[in-house]
Amino acid sequence: MRTIAIANHKGGVGKSTTAINLGAALARLGKKVLVIDIDAQGHTTVGLGVNTKDKQTIAELLCDDSTKPADVIQQTYIKGLDIIPSDLSLAIAEMKLASMHAKEFKLRNKLKGVKGYDVMLFDCPPTFGTLPMNVFSCAQEIILPLQLSYFSLEGVNNFVETINFINKDIGPIINHKISIGGVLITFFDTRTKLARDVHGRIKDIFGKKIYKTFIPQNIKLNEAQANGKAIFDYDPECKGALAYMSLAKEIIKKENA
């Protein structure tokens, strides 16, 4: 099973949008996909029209020893796409985790027995705390979404240093390594000089790790999420839908290369 974290410690770069629509695209291409929403905002959960009322979520999975993955996995309306949902209860769970033994490995231990999926996608919160550390201890690769903005570029070195730290200090404990599988340019627009300069810097830093596919600015993507739908069920011919399908095919091609 391929395990992919969609992560960046900066918010607003399209992590949840990517989790929703990449997951949906992979499912449309015949992959069995499990999306794990590990952000207390629950945007991926809401964006796929999933209700957490009277349901167990990622919070229970992390903090309750008796809760198993089968107890929290929900089917979405999309065939082949399941989700472990999240909501604000995860914020309380994160505080509880802080005092637990081996807190960085809770998710890894819980997911060990999960089978039957081709791809597991993690939607990470925009932090470097306990929750992303849980994801990085079980995911094999990272999709790093980046906007063409100064602040997005500013945090790149810190992000890379964090991954290096995990591989050096935590990875050997569990015989695990995670790497940046690809850099995804989101909200793509190079009409300004700053955006062009940032794009050039990103190319210098990441080179061939940058996906050929970029995600354009497209209001339809926001509208789809507001309606609890993937873009393919909202406007399948729009630029955003075409881009995410292209990304899914590129990711599959990389795996088979």
Torsion of the alpha carbons at 146, 181, 60 and 9, rounded to the nearest 10: -30
Q: How far apart are CA 257 and CA 246, in angstroms?
A: 16
Residue 218: per-residue pLDDT: 92
Closest CA to 227 of 20, 16, 42, 47: 47
CA dist 11 → 6, 119, 123, 128, 219 (Å)? 12, 24, 12, 12, 18
Band of pLDDT at residue 140, cut at 50, 70 and 90: very high
- pLDDT per residue as tens digits for the range 76-91: 999 999 999 999 999 9
pLDDT of residue 257: 62
Could you count the other beta carbons within 10 Å of the beta carbon of residue 126? Answer: 16
With vertex at residue 63, the alpha carbon angle to CA 59 and CA 68, rounded to the nearest 5 degrees, is 80
Q: Give residue 45's pLDDT.
A: 98
The pLDDT of residue 99 is 86
Number of Cβ within 10 Å of residue 254's Cβ equals 13
Angle CA(194)–CA(196)–CA(202) in degrees, nearest 5? Answer: 100
Phi first, then psi: give them for residue 190, nearest 5 degrees: -110, 30
- Looking at residue 70, its pLDDT comes to 96
Which CATH number does 2-256 carry?
Answer: 3.40.50.300
Residue 214: pLDDT over 70: yes
Rounded average pLDDT over 176-204: 88
Give residue-wise pLDDT tens across range 158-189: 888 889 988 998 889 899 999 999 999 998 88
Token pair for 89: 């209860």
H/E segment holding residue 249 = helix 239-256
pTM summary value: 0.94
pLDDT at residue 243, as a whole number = 97
Retrieve residue 6's tokens: 């969609």
Please report which confidence band the pLDDT of residue 15 belongs to, taking 50, 70 and 90 as the band edges.
very high
Please give the pLDDT value at position 92. Answer: 93
Contact in structure between 34 and 114 (CB atoms under 8 Å): yes
The pLDDT tens digits for 32-71 are 999 999 999 999 999 999 999 999 999 999 999 999 999 9
When pLDDT is averaged across residues 133-144 and rounded to a whole number, the result is 94
Q: Is the pLDDT of residue 151 over 80?
A: no
Query: Quick check: 231 and 237 in contact, CB under 8 A?
Result: no
Per cent of the chain over pLDDT 90 is 74
Q: Residue ranges per domain, the chain?
A: 2-256
Dist CA 256 CA 118 (whole Å): 13
DSSP state of 138: T
Which of these ranges, 56-60, 82-86, 150-154, 238-242, has the smallest mean pLDDT?
150-154
User: Tokens representing 217?
Assistant: 């600015």
The answer to whether 9 and 127 are in contact (CB under 8 A) is yes
